[in-house]
Amino acid sequence: MRPMFKTISAAATLLSAIAPGLTPAFAQDTSPTVQPTAAPPQLPAPEVPIPPLSAAQKAFLAKWVKGGSAQGLGAAQLDDQALSDSALIKAALDRAHALHNGRVAPSDFLDIWALRPSAYDPRPGFAKAVADDKVQAWAENQSPPYAGYEGLRLGLQNYRRIASEGGWPKLAAGASESAIRKRLAVEDKSSTGQSLTAALQQAQRRYGLRPTGTLDTATIEALNVPVESRINSIMANMERWRWMPREMPVNRVQVNIAAAVLTVFEGDQPVNSMRAVTGRPGNETPMLVSTIHSIVVNPPWNVPTSIAKKELLPQGRQTLINRGYRFIKTEGGGERLQQAPGPNNSLGRLKFDFDNPFAVYLHDTPARGKFASYDRLASHGCIRLEKPVDLADLMLGNNPDFNGSVQTLIDADKTQRVSLSQKVSVYLLYWTAFAGNDGVMNFRSDPYGWDRLLATKIEKSSQSARSNITAS
């Protein structure tokens, strides 16, 4: 395998066996009182004075603050009244903050949306832009600087146009070829030059469905999602982009929870990807950013209390012992359940640890069959990997001590923690709408229902911001 993560040059350290004291496993065992790490509170700084606006600056800002809908910031518009200078400045600062950090306040996030934007005060930059007469450049720099966001912005324009033209008709089973072709072309003009089978397969890939090339039930359902729902999805995903950090490490792992896929970036370029299995609805995988600090080879599974009580202990103590589980005494006089390492261990042979309050991680699995499925939201919240050995190889890269030896470590049948001297950032993200490399929109189902919830929150926050501005 081509060595990846070439920038990892320092030796990883092989630490002692770690059978006891491993991190408690799996999501949903987290106390609801545990809060994800949020941006530290900022002490109020003296308010930076804004220089007087020129007529040209006022004209630009007046137009800019009325264009929030094009950025997916909600339908509440400031287009029905003239704004005073102070209201215009207030609106500009509000718009900048919303574009930079999101329309929805982090205090209104679900705990499991643990990807939080850093604190941002647009006022100093705005004051400087006014003084330097660079307000337009300042305004353009407020939105996320990523191609993913820009693709959604263009997609929003397109789907709003489609909505204004009446959307699309519903397809029924047995629809004629011409009806199918017409429907496909609404979203993807390139489908017109293809055979019907190829066009359907292309659409199915855009929806993350099995590419059967036939108008099956799942495809009909995806094609019949109303355009308004697609617009809401695009808006929700644009909002999530605003939560992303403005700078990302060039070497990192990104997971799309909704699509159950993982991509490895090296030097800011994708170098490998694999299928994953993510949390089933009810056991949602959290959105978060963290750093992978170590890999556990041949891990035991410390069964979370919730899973032990609900799913395992009812089988009876002896049955569990016969199946490789062991009961371990705890300090408080109780006991906890642990599955011994081995080929049948639920975590497989490799576990990638990163700090987070949800006790989730990436891991191998002995159940490989699910990776062939196109519906791979089936875990308790952790992320199962199709190619965990490849990922471990990538992370250990050029390290001479470990070159090509991950499998050797596995074959040793010994539980070991390999500590990465250079940690690898990991982003667990929830994307249900994204532009493909050809610019055509792709959609995934909203398995956790977060799009609809977030779209509602965006509208509510948009209305509230509008009221605050117009009241000033």
Partner 1 sequence: MSFPHRRLALTLPLAAVIALGACRDREPEQPEFENDTNVIEEQVMPENLTAAPEAAPENVQAEVKHAPPPVIPDEQQILDDAAAVGMTARIPRAEDIVPTEDKPAERKSAVADKTADKDDQALNQIY
Q: Check binding of 8 to partner 1 (CB under 8 A).
A: yes
Contact partners, residue 115, CB within 8 Å, separation at least 6: 240, 243, 244, 287, 288, 289, 427, 428, 429
Q: Whose Cβ is closer to partner 1: residue 229's or residue 306's?
A: 306
**Contacting partner 1 (CB under 8 A), which of 34, 85, 86, 145?**
145
Angle, helix 147-164 to helix 227-242, in steps of 10 degrees: 160
CB atoms within 10 A of CB 428: 26
At which residue do the structure tokens 């987290």 appear?
30
Residue 180 DSSP SS3: helix
Site string (118-137) toward partner 1, x via CB under 8 A: ------------------xx
What residues between 306 and 325 interact with partner 1 by CB under 8 A?
Answer: 307, 310-312, 314-315, 319
Q: Check binding of 273 to partner 1 (CB under 8 A).
A: yes
**Contacting partner 1 (CB under 8 A), which of 102, 151, 279, 341?**
151
Q: Whose Cβ is closer to partner 1: residue 110's or residue 271's?
A: 271
Cβ atoms of residues 442 and 208 within 8 Å? yes
Position 2, amino acid:
R
Q: Check binding of 297 to partner 1 (CB under 8 A).
A: no
Q: Check binding of 193 to partner 1 (CB under 8 A).
A: no
Distance CA 150, CA 156 (A): 10
Q: Taking the complex as a whole, how short is the minimal distance between the CB of residue 467 and partner 1, in angstroms?
A: 31
Cα angle 459-105-433, degrees, rounded to a multiple of 5: 60
Q: CB under 8 A: which stretch of 14-22, 55-63, 141-149, 408-416 binds partner 1?
A: 141-149
Q: Check binding of 263 to partner 1 (CB under 8 A).
A: yes
Q: Check binding of 28 to partner 1 (CB under 8 A).
A: no
Q: How many amino acids of this chain bind partner 1 (CB under 8 A)?
A: 85
At which residue do the structure tokens 């630490």 appear?
15
Residue 221 DSSP SS3: helix
Q: Check binding of 63 to partner 1 (CB under 8 A).
A: no
DSSP state of 310: I
Q: Whose Cβ is closer to partner 1: residue 64's or residue 265's?
A: 265
Q: Taking the complex as a whole, how short is the minimal distance between the CB of residue 191 and partner 1, in angstroms?
A: 14
Q: Check binding of 256 to partner 1 (CB under 8 A).
A: yes
Q: Check binding of 391 to partner 1 (CB under 8 A).
A: no
* Secondary element (H or E) of residue 426: strand 416-429
Distance CA 274, CA 171 (A): 33
Q: Check binding of 380 to partner 1 (CB under 8 A).
A: yes
Q: Check binding of 405 to partner 1 (CB under 8 A).
A: no
Q: Check binding of 194 to partner 1 (CB under 8 A).
A: no
At which residue do the structure tokens 């910031």 appear?
73
**Contacting partner 1 (CB under 8 A), which of 13, 86, 212, 456?**
212
Q: Check binding of 382 to partner 1 (CB under 8 A).
A: yes
DSSP state of 382: S
